Amino acid sequence: MENTTRVWRLFFAVGLFAIAIQELINKDFVFVMLPGNFPEWLSNRLIWDWIFSLPLAIACICIILEIKARPISIIIGAVLLLLVILFQIPGQHTPMVLAFWVNPLKELTLSGGAFLVAGSLARENKVSSVENSLEKLIPAGKYFFALTMVVFGYSHFLYRDFVVVLVPNWIPWHVFWTYFAGACLMAGGLGIILNVKRRLAANLLGIAIFIWFIVLHIPRAVIDPHSGNGNEITSVFEALSFSGIAFLIGRKKLKN
C-alpha cells in the first residue's frame, strides 16, 4: 500500500514541478497559479515569477525524494491557498460566470493535493508551531478536490457545446461522453464530500482523470503547445497531479 501511495505522491509532485518549470521557461506565471490581471502593486512580474517558481520546483523535488516532504507539502498547500484567497478570488471581475472560476478551483485543488500529500506521510515527533497549526488544514484537502470535481462536472452540462469539441474526433458520441463525464465528476465529488463509497469514488475519479491525461490532454498539448501561455501543456500536468490527488483520497487510510 505504501508503495502505491508513493506513486500517487509522485504523480502530484511531478505535475506541480513541471508547472513550476514551465513558468520559469515562459518567464511568466501560468493562469492556474496567478490570474492574468496581475496586481499593480506587485511590479515586475518576471522577478516574482522566479521568487515563486524556483522554490516551488525545489520543494517538489524534496517531495519526490522524500526530504522533509511533510512540512514542505504543508507549506506548499498553505501558499497555494493564500494565492487563491489573495489573488484568484479578488481577480474575479465576473464572479457570476462559472467559467471564470476554473483556474481558482484548479489552484484550490492543487492546494488540497499538497495537504493530502502531507497527510500521507508520517508526522515527525517534533514539529514547528507553524506546521502544527497548518496541518489542521490537511483534512480539508479532499473537500478542495471534491468541490472542484462537482463544479467541473456541472460545467459539462452548462457549457456542453464547448466541452463537446474537446472530445477526440476518433471517439464517437461526443455529446454522450460529455454528459457521462460530467455525471461521473459530480457523482465522484459528491461521494467524497458525503463519504459515500469514498474510496471507490476517489479511485474511479483517479482512473478517469488519468485516462483523460493520456487520451485527451497529451494529444492536445502536442497539437497546440503555445497558445494561451502554454495552457494545453499546463493542462497535461494538472491532470497528472489531479489523478494523483484522487488516488491519495482513495487510500485505505486517510486522515479525516
pLDDT (tens place) for every residue of the chain, 256 residues total: 567 899 999 999 999 999 999 999 988 888 889 887 666 666 677 888 899 999 999 999 999 999 999 999 999 999 999 999 998 888 777 888 888 899 999 999 999 999 999 999 988 777 778 778 888 999 999 999 999 999 999 999 999 999 998 888 888 999 999 999 999 999 999 999 999 999 999 999 999 999 999 999 999 999 988 887 788 999 999 999 999 999 999 986 665 5
- 254 Rama class: left (phi>0) / alpha (psi -120 to 50) / beta: beta
Question: From the CA atom positions of the chain, what is the Rg in Å?
Answer: 18
131 within domain boundaries: yes
79 within domain boundaries: yes
31 within domain boundaries: yes
255 within domain boundaries: no
How many residues are recorded in the chain? 256
Cα–Cα distance between 186 and 109 in angstroms, integer? Answer: 15
Integer CA distances (angstroms), 33 to 46, 48, 90, in order: 14, 12, 14
Q: Which three cell numbers stand for residue 36?
A: 492574468
Is 227 within 8 Å of 213 (Cβ atoms)? no
Q: What pTM value is reported for the model?
A: 0.93
163 within domain boundaries: yes
Q: 53: domain range?
A: 2-249
Q: Nearest-5° angle of CA 25, CA 27, CA 31?
A: 100
Is 80 within 8 Å of 110 (Cβ atoms)? yes
Number of domains observed in the structure of the chain:
1
| C-alpha 81 chain-centroid distance | 12
254 within domain boundaries: no
256 within domain boundaries: no
